[in-house]
Amino acid sequence: MVTVALAQINPVVGDINGNTRRIQEAMSRADDLGAQVVVVPELALTGYPPDDLLLKTSFIDANHTALGEIASSSGDALAVLGFVDQRDGSLFNAAAACRRGQVVGVYHKHLLPNYGVFDERRYFEPGEDHLLFDTPEAVLSVSVCEDAWSEDGPVVQQGLSGAQIVININASPYDKNKLDERTAMLADRARRAGASIVYVNTVGGQDELVFDGSSLVVSPYGQVMARLKQFEEDFALVDVPLGHSNAVRAEGPGASIRRVRVGLPPAPSGEVRGVVAEALSVEAEIYGALCLGLADYVNKNNFKKVVVGLSGGIDSALTAVIAADALGAECVLGVSMPSVYTSPGSRDDADILAHALGVQMIEVPIRHIQDAYLEALQSAFGQTPEGLAEENLQARARGNILMAISNRYGHLVIATGNKSEMACGYATLYGDMAGGFALLKDVFKTEVYSLSHYRNSISPVIPESVLTKAPSAELRSDQKDEDSLPPYSVLDPILEAYIEREAGVADIVALGHGRDVVGRVITLVDRAEYKRRQAPPGPKVTDKAFGRDRRLPITNQWKEGPDEDLPARATGGGGEA
Amino acid sequence: MVTVALAQINPVVGDINGNTRRIQEAMSRADDLGAQVVVVPELALTGYPPDDLLLKTSFIDANHTALGEIASSSGDALAVLGFVDQRDGSLFNAAAACRRGQVVGVYHKHLLPNYGVFDERRYFEPGEDHLLFDTPEAVLSVSVCEDAWSEDGPVVQQGLSGAQIVININASPYDKNKLDERTAMLADRARRAGASIVYVNTVGGQDELVFDGSSLVVSPYGQVMARLKQFEEDFALVDVPLGHSNAVRAEGPGASIRRVRVGLPPAPSGEVRGVVAEALSVEAEIYGALCLGLADYVNKNNFKKVVVGLSGGIDSALTAVIAADALGAECVLGVSMPSVYTSPGSRDDADILAHALGVQMIEVPIRHIQDAYLEALQSAFGQTPEGLAEENLQARARGNILMAISNRYGHLVIATGNKSEMACGYATLYGDMAGGFALLKDVFKTEVYSLSHYRNSISPVIPESVLTKAPSAELRSDQKDEDSLPPYSVLDPILEAYIEREAGVADIVALGHGRDVVGRVITLVDRAEYKRRQAPPGPKVTDKAFGRDRRLPITNQWKEGPDEDLPARATGGGGEA
């Protein structure tokens, strides 16, 4: 048994000085508590993902200097942490082990993910060696994130080479099935390796990504011995059981194995340590991810307050509730921007919600602004019939007002659109899409409802009428979303199949959907690519989010849908699909 | 000598049916003219880059079916073309060789670029074999793009294995030094390989990329034997000289070599064929790239007309001129949107320009719109002092008007901002940044001037006063760009060093710039990342463009500049830096 401190910290991308301090604090705390080993996440020193900061020599150099400082201050516990190692002009996603003032070993990540949100082969070369520590108590090894995801990859190879505890440092982003998937994967790898796995994950929001923490210790028999909190910084000492053997086994890897002899402090006395944090429900998980994603975007970018347009609809209601929960009601400003099409019910609902949340609310009517636009455009529009242009003008007047408030007071504008709208282009570019952060961008409309019910089950803040009335953009008389889109209960499963699972028309029809509606939805999704390209970032909570996770050309004549010629797509078309 | 047809075509991403037809037409034409070999660019069948279309099974299948059709229709000439090959669940960036109804060989690209604008390792596995064709006339080999860029890579290895002519198919994007760089590189590789190289490049615009064509034939001695046109489709028969030897040499590669025996039609009679198109000046090159990038964005997305806000400034003037040159004056609508700060000179200049170009011009004044905004915001703003908010409201009113015209008539809005502004955040998000395509996004302000002078040297269309007056956003009284930014002659070289060459503060100071101005400029660039993330796409013409070429986090506390704490960045701050 080895007593390992799992330091589930929240580093900030680019903040090498701050991250150094965060790492040193975790190491001191581990030493103070008598831990034998302390583990800090992948690339904790630079934050993850550092992206093209990795192309800057000054950045890489600062990271090396900081590693030196961390090593100098290292104490009795063997400290394992993530940094960028530059050797002979190549970069490696690396783990350093430090003890008593020295770097005692460095491991280079073997498997570099280059799919989904990951671009690691843009920067890093793969490592080829394994690093085993012969300590008085056990044989330990070190690996990084993706190294665990291959059935016969480095984590398993290290176990087969004699490691009894495999340390695996991570920056693994959340999506809604991730914890179960990860737990099952680690249980399998631990059994194959015949070793315990100490899986330490980053926690925190970074632009489009939310790292959920949920660090784990899994025994050689695949049992979860410890789990840290989701969506919070956490720190725990865990007594990690040893794997079966410390002898190299015949099935071991061909890659070269470096063995380093290091001491460890004596095991602390007392009862066996371990903690298994409660696993959240799906709704609580997504809610937690959205709160953390928003709070970290706001705080890491030094905003003090956010501003949200409150229409009385469910998207803006949920957005305001999450913002108030994540930041405190005093950090949220609600703005009602009624037009001639705004129903009295919607205005009331917005007021009731703001009051229930304790959020400040102001009103900026757009009626006269809309009139001024229409007057100015009179000669340009001539006798052409009214339509989308008049609708979008209103949405953009609202976007402009929110941005003006942002300019004047420095508040961050939170856009309120959901994934169903973003998918179908049922949103106005520079209008309701305007903002610095799009909180619900990866949340389908049906999930907006389930998250609202979940939140109301804790304490009822969203008025019942908001949950029950038919969704409407209120940009013309008697408008309903279902005038333009299939019902969300039909739409969302089609979107999920097409976007998240890359299903073709035939696959989706086979799920029981009509060919016409499938073709229509796919055409809407394909045609809205130019809008999504200009959307604000927002937190990924599904298997495939819009943004770096899904990279499609705008100019694209591939037609998955019905084989009709696409009409010209007016840039900025939206509000109505 | 082998007579090779170089088919420099313009495929459309996703348009597998259309691309099949384009390829078949090139093959027929080559057969008709008696070519022995015909070469079509990299991934011509799917268009380049297909991005995440490659994750769709239906897309890959359609591409295989189309290859079958192309092979069936192949004639006497050996046809080499790019497609996606799926084998055992892996994808390869591949070249097929077809003749007389059959696929006679397939080569998989070895070197997969995953830097800059390229993401090939996201999709493809690297090939390991070489493919040599033993023909009655010569030994030919096939390679793809990046395979040529390594000094001892596949192109050189194929020469050392006995290939006398190495065919290299490409989708190589333009930037302003690319032709010279490519020519020198190919001359070196041809000499090392002891073989001629037939380099066939795609031509055309695709979102942020412009493929410049400029296909080349280089002799084993490194001489340019043929060069096709830049920025245009082109087709030429070239008599390609043979390399030194058809025997495998000792220095040949370890990788496995597949040799296929194929026939060729007899060499056509007549004089030795070859054509060397004139190389354009730097200004003509950039101008040509912008025209092609715009025209293809417009045409491939089925727009009929574009709309440009004409302020009387040089950026909008150059934008309108390029649009008129690329699309025809009748496809351009100019909109003047004067405010109280618009000088009479600016209004006149816009009129004079529109008249000189023959472009239709309408006026939509924004004065009353601005008044309506300020009135509506009165209680929200209270007694706080005027500033950026009032400036940005005007820019956004203009953005909203252009988008309304787009919604009503289906025209594409062209944004007019330049790279210097995009770099420093001296632009209003949803204001002057609004649009579907940002034509000058990768053109520094000093280059906007040189391109304007270049264009005026052909026929004078931009009024002299536009070229000589001090740049101003005209969003408040007596505003000048230099109130907020260093002079562009100082700014642009600093931006170029920081952005395109990843130079640090010390490197840039060493070029002769003051530490203060360098620190200030870098801070501006870093803080504007969130704006650029929401910018429209625009054509890359430099070594490093904003967009997929430069991937930086928004949330980023790395400070290359002076080590002061950054103030909160108001989302949508801009207009003034």
Per-residue pLDDT at B31 exceeds 80 = yes
Are residues B97 and B221 located together in one domain of the fold? yes
Paired tokens of A560: 């998955």
Q: Which residues of chain B have a CB within 8 Å of the CB of A572?
A: 403, 406-407, 413, 434, 436
Q: What is the distance between the alpha carbons of residues A70 and A101, in angstroms, rounded to a whole number? A: 8
**Model pLDDT, residue A249:** 60
Q: Which residues of chain A have a CB within 8 Å of the CB of B56?
A: 502, 504, 558, 560
Q: Is B111 within the bounds of a domain?
A: yes
| Residue labelled with tokens 């028309």 | A505
Per-residue pLDDT at B251 exceeds 90 = no
- Helix B282-300 to helix B445-458 angle, to the nearest 10 degrees? 90
Per-residue pLDDT at B241 exceeds 60 = yes
Q: What is the distance between the alpha carbons of residues B488 and B443, in angstroms, rounded to a whole number? A: 12
Q: What is the distance between the alpha carbons of residues A534 and B417, in angstroms, rounded to a whole number? A: 16
Q: How far apart are the first and last CA of chain B?
A: 61
Q: Which residues of chain B have a CB within 8 Å of the CB of A392?
A: 403-404, 407
Q: Could you say which of B42, B120, B496, B560 is catalytic?
A: B42
Residue ending a domain, choose from A256, A279, A302: A279
Q: List the strands of the sheet with A90-99, edge to edge.
A: A102-108, A90-99, A78-87, A37-39, A2-8, A234-240
pLDDT band at B568 (very low <50, low <70, confident <90, very high): very low
**Model pLDDT, residue A573:** 36
Binary contact (A369, B366; C-beta < 8 A) = no
Which has the closest alpha carbon to A400: B391, B537, B479? B391
In the DSSP assignment, the letter for residue A148 is G
**How far A71 CA sits from the closest chain B CA (Å)?**
22
Q: What is the mean pLDDT of chain A?
A: 94
Q: What is the distance between the alpha carbons of residues A30 and A7, in angstroms, rounded to a whole number? A: 8
Binary contact (A380, B362; C-beta < 8 A) = yes
Are residues B301 and B243 located together in one domain of the fold? no
Binary contact (A52, B551; C-beta < 8 A) = yes
pLDDT band at B576 (very low <50, low <70, confident <90, very high): very low
Q: Is B407 within the bounds of a domain?
A: yes
Q: Could you say which of B145, B291, B331, B424 is catalytic?
A: B145
Are residues A260 and A367 located together in one domain of the fold? no
Q: What is the distance between the alpha carbons of residues A101 and A113, in angstroms, rounded to a whole number? A: 32
Q: Is B549 within the bounds of a domain?
A: no
Per-residue pLDDT at A38 exceeds 60 = yes
Question: What residue in A sits closest to B117 (Cα-Cα)?
Answer: A122
Paired tokens of A122: 């843009």
Which has the closest alpha carbon to A462: A284, A328, A324, A557? A324
Strand A90-99 relative to strand A102-108, pairing: antiparallel
Question: What residue in B sits closest to A372 (Cα-Cα)?
Answer: B369
Question: What residue in B sits closest to A502 (Cα-Cα)?
Answer: B56
Binary contact (A567, B18; C-beta < 8 A) = no
Per-residue pLDDT at B111 exceeds 70 = yes
Are residues B160 and B112 located together in one domain of the fold? yes
Q: Which domain holds residue A439?
A: 283-533
Paired tokens of B503: 């130079």
Q: Is B78 within the bounds of a domain?
A: yes
Cα angle A462-A463-A465, degrees, rounded to a multiple of 5 = 130
> A65 CB contacts (<8 Å, ≥6 apart)?
none
Are residues B102 and B238 located together in one domain of the fold? yes
Are residues B243 and B349 located together in one domain of the fold? no
Residues of A forming the active site: 42, 109, 145
Task: Measure CB to CB from residue A403 to each of B59, B392, B556 and give the nearest one.
Answer: B392
Q: Is B424 a catalytic residue?
A: no
CB atoms within 10 A of CB B145: 27
Output the domain CATH number for residue B433: 3.40.50.620
**How far A134 CA sits from the closest chain B CA (Å)?**
37
Task: Measure CB to CB from residue A376 to each of B300, B364, B399 and give the nearest one.
Answer: B364
- Let me know: does B561 contact B520? Beta carbons within 8 Å: yes
Predicted ipTM beyond 0.90: yes
Alpha helix (H) ranges present in B301-387?
314-327, 344-357, 367-376, 378-381
Pick from B48, B115, B327, B407 the residue to mutate for testing the A interface (most A CBs within 10 Å).
Answer: B407
Q: Could you say which of B98, B109, B391, B576 is catalytic?
A: B109
> A144 CB contacts (<8 Å, ≥6 apart)?
A42, A82, A93, A94, A95, A107, A109, A168, A169, A170
Q: Is B98 within the bounds of a domain?
A: yes
Mean pLDDT of A94-104: 98
**Model pLDDT, residue B250:** 52
- Let me know: does B147 contact B93? Beta carbons within 8 Å: no
Q: Which residues of chain B have a CB within 8 Å of the CB of A18?
A: 557
Which has the closest alpha carbon to A333: A309, A362, A307, A298? A307
pLDDT band at A147 (very low <50, low <70, confident <90, very high): very high
Binary contact (A377, B401; C-beta < 8 A) = yes
Output the domain CATH number for residue B183: 3.60.110.10
Which has the closest alpha carbon to B27: B5, B50, B42? B5
Q: Is A473 within the bounds of a domain?
A: yes
Q: Which residues of chain A have a CB within 8 Å of the CB of B555?
A: 12-13, 205-207, 296-297, 300-301
Are residues A341 and A242 located together in one domain of the fold? no
Task: Measure CB to CB from residue B368 to each of A51, A375, A434 and give the nearest one.
Answer: A375
- Let me know: does A413 contact A435? Beta carbons within 8 Å: yes
Which has the closest alpha carbon to B417: B543, B570, B532? B532
Pick from A117, A407, A523, A560 the residue to mutate for testing the B interface (most B CBs within 10 Å).
Answer: A407
Sign of the Cα pseudo-torsion (B72, B75, B76, B78, in order):
negative
Q: Strands, DSSP E only, in A60-193?
A: 78-87, 90-99, 102-108, 130-134, 139-144, 165-170
**Model pLDDT, residue A569:** 47
Question: What residue in B sits closest to A554 (Cα-Cα)?
Answer: B207
Mean pLDDT of B301-314: 97
Are residues A377 and A270 located together in one domain of the fold? no
Question: What residue in B sits closest to A49 (Cα-Cα)?
Answer: B553
**Model pLDDT, residue A272:** 74
3-state secondary structure of B213: strand
Per-residue pLDDT at A543 exceeds 80 = yes
Task: Measure CB to CB from residue B59 to each of A57, A300, A558 and give the nearest one.
Answer: A558
Q: Is A574 within the bounds of a domain?
A: no
Q: pLDDT tens digits, residue range B526-555?
A: 999 999 999 999 999 999 999 999 999 999
Q: pLDDT tens digits, residue range B324-379?
A: 999 999 999 999 999 999 999 899 999 999 999 999 999 999 999 999 999 999 99
Which has the closest alpha carbon to B118: B195, B10, B208, B248? B208
CB atoms within 10 A of CB B478: 9
Q: pLDDT tens digits, residue range B113-144?
A: 999 999 999 999 999 999 999 999 999 999 99
CB contacts < 8 A, A to B, total 300
**Model pLDDT, residue B478:** 86
Residue ending a domain, choose from B481, B514, B549: B481
Q: Is B109 a catalytic residue?
A: yes
Which has the closest alpha carbon to B376: A95, A394, A358? A394
Percent of chain A scoring above 90 in pLDDT: 90
3-state secondary structure of B146: helix
Q: Which residues of chain A have a CB within 8 Å of the CB of B207?
A: 553-555
**Model pLDDT, residue A572:** 38
**Model pLDDT, residue B560:** 80
In the DSSP assignment, the letter for residue A308 is E
Question: What residue in A sits closest to B498 (Cα-Cα)?
Answer: A56
Are residues A190 and A333 located together in one domain of the fold? no
> A115 CB contacts (<8 Å, ≥6 apart)?
B122
**How far A304 CA sits from the closest chain B CA (Å)?**
8
Cα angle A223-A229-A233, degrees, rounded to a multiple of 5 = 135
Are residues B235 and B321 located together in one domain of the fold? no
Residue ending a domain, choose from B481, B501, B525: B481
Are residues A146 and A32 located together in one domain of the fold? yes
Q: pLDDT tens digits, residue range B362-421?
A: 999 999 999 999 999 999 999 999 999 999 999 999 999 999 999 999 999 999 999 999
Q: What is the radius of gyration, based on Cα positions, of chain A? A: 26
**How far B149 CA sits from the closest chain A CA (Å)?**
17
Binary contact (A556, B372; C-beta < 8 A) = no
3-state secondary structure of B227: strand
- Let me know: does A26 contact A40? Beta carbons within 8 Å: yes
Q: What is the pTM of this model?
A: 0.95
Main-chain phi, psi angles of B214, to 5 degrees: 55, 40
Q: What is the distance between the alpha carbons of residues A338 and A332, in angstroms, rounded to a whole number? A: 19
Are residues A261 and A302 located together in one domain of the fold? no
Q: Is B145 a catalytic residue?
A: yes
Q: How many domains does chain A have?
A: 2
Q: Which residues of chain A have a CB within 8 Å of the CB of B409?
A: 570
Q: How far apart are the first and last CA of chain A?
A: 61
Q: Is A445 within the bounds of a domain?
A: yes
Which has the closest alpha carbon to B39: B1, B2, B80? B80
Q: pLDDT tens digits, residue range A551-567?
A: 999 999 998 865 554 44
Question: What residue in B sits closest to A531 (Cα-Cα)?
Answer: B436
- Let me know: does A206 contact B555? Beta carbons within 8 Å: yes
Binary contact (B406, A568; C-beta < 8 A) = no
**Model pLDDT, residue B562:** 57
